Chain A
Amino acid sequence: MNYRTILYESQGAIAFITLNRPEVRNAQNEELKDELDLALKNAEADEGIRVIVLRGAGSCFSSGHDMKQFPRDPDSFQASDRRKWFEGDTAKVRKFVYKILRYFLNLHYLTKPTIAQVHGYCIAGGWVLASMCDIIIASEDAEFIDPVLRMGSTGVEAIVEPWDVGYRKAKELMWTGEGITAKEAWEFGMVNKVVARDELEKETMLMAQKIATTPPGTLQATKRSINRALDLMGWRQSHEQHVDVWLSNHLGDEHKTLHKDRQDLDLKDFIHKRDAGYE
């Protein structure tokens, strides 16, 4: 299988999936999501693989959804001229958005242990991707942000923040658009280890190798059990309800007005008007 937006390699029992669009800071377009989904399926099916590492090429892990190329074909949503895809046929919009949620959830529910190796920016859809992995190892320069509320979006399609940093911090981060450093993320328990930038690959490898020495059936059984404990706390249902909140907000007037301004005005004027609008 040839991938264009990711790299798939393996070393011993460890599969490495690398987001490989460094020129756009690994922004996730539809193709990248599809390829990542496929690569995960391959790693899951390969009996030689016991641990999966997810990482990004270039200066950062991922800047989130690719706003330019996402979705691949906006016209297919039948939005009228110069409107965004989510203003098109609502059934198609829903289906597309639910697919993105499934793609995130698939990663979480893989039977094999996953490690996210995070450096630099880890923004919005990038944060969700890292969060869906079992373990996160971050370099000191890593920063986690979900700054999309000012653009009228209710976060990403999945709501990982209250699970990762607690609901009080989640509200603050989302409502102000501010980020947290790797060290803060470690304090909140959302990353397992913070290491120097030049040690990141080595440390991740060591962790993956160490985990791979555990009997794979036992590993997978504890993963099931811990993920079920999360589900009993409501993890899965919280994402299922959130995607509908996300959709109803995107289909609402406020978002449409905000977005129309964004198309009609240049960026500076848009930001000025946006900030003025709520003063």
Chain B
Amino acid sequence: MSFSTILYERDGPVAMITLNRPDVRNAQNEQMKDEIDEALSKSDIDEKVRVIVLRSSGPSFSAGHDMKQLPRDPVSFGATEGEKWTDGDSEKVRQFVYKIFRQFLKIRDVRKPTIAQVQGHCIAAGWVLASMCDLIVASKDAQFSDPVLRTGSTGMQVLVEPWDIGFRQAKHLLWTGGAISASEALRLGLVNRVVPLEDLEKETMQLANKIALTPFGTLQATKRSINRTQDLMGWRLAQEQHIETWLVSQFSNEHKELHAGQADMGVKEFIRRRDQAYK
């Protein structure tokens, strides 16, 4: 399979999956999500691969979902011209959203250790992508944000924030739409290491190669055990319930009114109206 939105390479025991749409700061469209999914399956099967690194080209890790191309065609969801895709056939919307949800969870469930190598902006679904990885190495310029609440979305399809930075910080961050820097992320335990940007690739590969020296079955066993520990804390059910909350919110009148006519009005006018509404 040849990929057009990502790169897939292997260097010794380490597979590198690189998000490769730097022109749009690696915004994830449907095709990219499918290709990441495919590349993960490939690396999980390849016996030569012991550690998987997820990284990206250009100045930012990922700007999140590609809002222009996700989904490709609102009308195919049964929405009328000018409406958002979530205004379409709710069953189709559900199936589409569940697919995104499963794709995220699959990254976490890959048998092999995964490392996200994060630079620059790591926004919303970009954060989710990084968070699904076992370890995160970030450059000093990395920053994590999920600023989608002001647009009527209850965060991403997977709610990683309370797990990554704690309940109180998560509420604060989500409700204000702010960002946390790499050094704050380190303090809160969201990332494992922070390094200068020019050393990011080298440090990540060193870490990956060090991990690759550990007996493979043992590595996978501890991954299972630690992920199950997180599941016993409620991780998986928290996500399964959150996706329903997310859908309920997308189907609400509030969301519909907020986005009514959005396609025709331009971003500036949308923001003006949005800020007006709750004053």
What residues make up the interface of A, taking CB atoms closer than 8 Å to B?
149-150, 152-155, 159, 161-163, 165-172, 174-177, 187-188, 233-235, 237-238, 241-242, 245-246, 248-249, 252, 254-255, 258, 274-275, 278-279
Task: Give A111 to B132 CA distance when docked, in angstroms.
Answer: 38
B248 within 8 A of A: no
What residues make up the interface of B, taking CB atoms closer than 8 Å to A?
12-13, 50, 113, 134-136, 187, 189-193, 207, 210-219, 221-234
**Min distance, Cβ B209 to any Cβ of chain A, angstroms:** 9
Question: Which residues from chain B contact A162 at a C-beta distance below 8 Å?
Answer: 226, 229-230
Quick one: which of B113, B134, B215, B226 contacts A278, CB cutoff 8 A? B215
Contact in complex: A245, B215 (CB < 8 Å): no
Can you identify 29 A-B contacts, CB atoms within 8 angstroms?
Answer: A152-B215, A154-B222, A154-B225, A155-B225, A159-B229, A167-B226, A167-B229, A167-B230, A168-B189, A171-B113, A172-B207, A174-B226, A175-B219, A233-B232, A234-B229, A234-B231, A234-B233, A238-B232, A241-B232, A245-B222, A245-B228, A249-B217, A249-B218, A252-B217, A255-B218, A278-B215, A279-B12, A279-B212, A279-B213
Question: Which residues from chain B contact A235 at a C-beta distance below 8 Å?
Answer: 232
Task: Give A154 to B223 CA distance when docked, in angstroms.
Answer: 9
CB nearest to A177 among chain B residues: B214
Quick one: which of A161, A248, A252, A274 contacts B226, CB cutoff 8 A? A161
Question: Which residues from chain B contact A150 at a C-beta distance below 8 Å?
Answer: 213-215
Question: Which residues from chain B contact A254 at a C-beta distance below 8 Å?
Answer: 215-218
CB nearest to B12 among chain A residues: A279
Question: Which residues from chain B contact A176 at a C-beta distance below 8 Å?
Answer: 207, 210-211
Closest 10 CB pairs of A and B: A234-B232, A238-B229, A254-B217, A166-B189, A154-B221, A249-B221, A245-B225, A152-B215, A175-B211, A242-B225
Can you name 16 extra interface pairs (CB under 8 A) apart from A159-B222, A167-B226, A167-B230? A149-B218, A154-B218, A154-B222, A159-B229, A161-B226, A167-B229, A168-B136, A172-B207, A174-B226, A234-B229, A238-B225, A241-B225, A249-B221, A252-B217, A254-B215, A255-B215
Task: Give A241 to B134 CA distance when docked, in angstroms.
Answer: 20
Task: Give A88 to B136 CA distance when docked, in angstroms.
Answer: 40
Question: Which residues from chain A contact B234 at a C-beta distance below 8 Å?
Answer: 233-234
Question: Which residues from chain A contact B226 at a C-beta distance below 8 Å?
Answer: 159, 161-162, 167, 170-171, 174
CB nearest to A254 among chain B residues: B217
Task: Give A241 to B214 CA distance when docked, in angstroms.
Answer: 22
Given contacts A167-B229, A175-B211, A242-B229, contact A155 B222 (CB under 8 A): yes
Task: Give A153 to B223 CA distance when docked, in angstroms.
Answer: 13
Question: Which residues from chain B contact A165 at a C-beta distance below 8 Å?
Answer: 189
CB nearest to A146 among chain B residues: B222
Contact in complex: B215, A149 (CB < 8 Å): yes
Contact in complex: B218, A172 (CB < 8 Å): no
Given contacts A159-B226, A162-B230, A176-B210, contact A168 B135 (CB under 8 A): yes
Most buried by A among B207, B214, B223, B229: B229
Contact in complex: B222, A149 (CB < 8 Å): yes
Task: Give A228 to B12 CA distance when docked, in angstroms.
Answer: 46
CB nearest to A176 among chain B residues: B210
CB nearest to A148 among chain B residues: B218
CB nearest to A235 among chain B residues: B232
**Min distance, Cβ A164 to any Cβ of chain B, angstroms:** 11
Task: Give A169 to B230 CA distance when docked, in angstroms.
Answer: 13
CB nearest to A189 among chain B residues: B189
Question: Which residues from chain A contact B189 at a C-beta distance below 8 Å?
Answer: 165-166, 168-169, 188
Contact in complex: A237, B215 (CB < 8 Å): no
Question: Which residues from chain A contact B216 at a C-beta distance below 8 Å?
Answer: 254, 278
Given contacts A150-B213, A150-B215, A168-B192, contact A175 B113 (CB under 8 A): yes
CB nearest to A236 among chain B residues: B232
CB nearest to A159 among chain B residues: B225
CB nearest to B187 among chain A residues: A187
Question: Which residues from chain A contact B13 at a C-beta distance below 8 Å?
Answer: 278-279
Task: Give A167 to B234 CA distance when docked, in angstroms.
Answer: 13
Task: Give A171 to B227 CA distance when docked, in angstroms.
Answer: 10
Task: Give A121 to B222 CA distance when docked, in angstroms.
Answer: 23
Task: Give A237 to B219 CA distance when docked, in angstroms.
Answer: 21
Task: Give A248 to B220 CA distance when docked, in angstroms.
Answer: 12
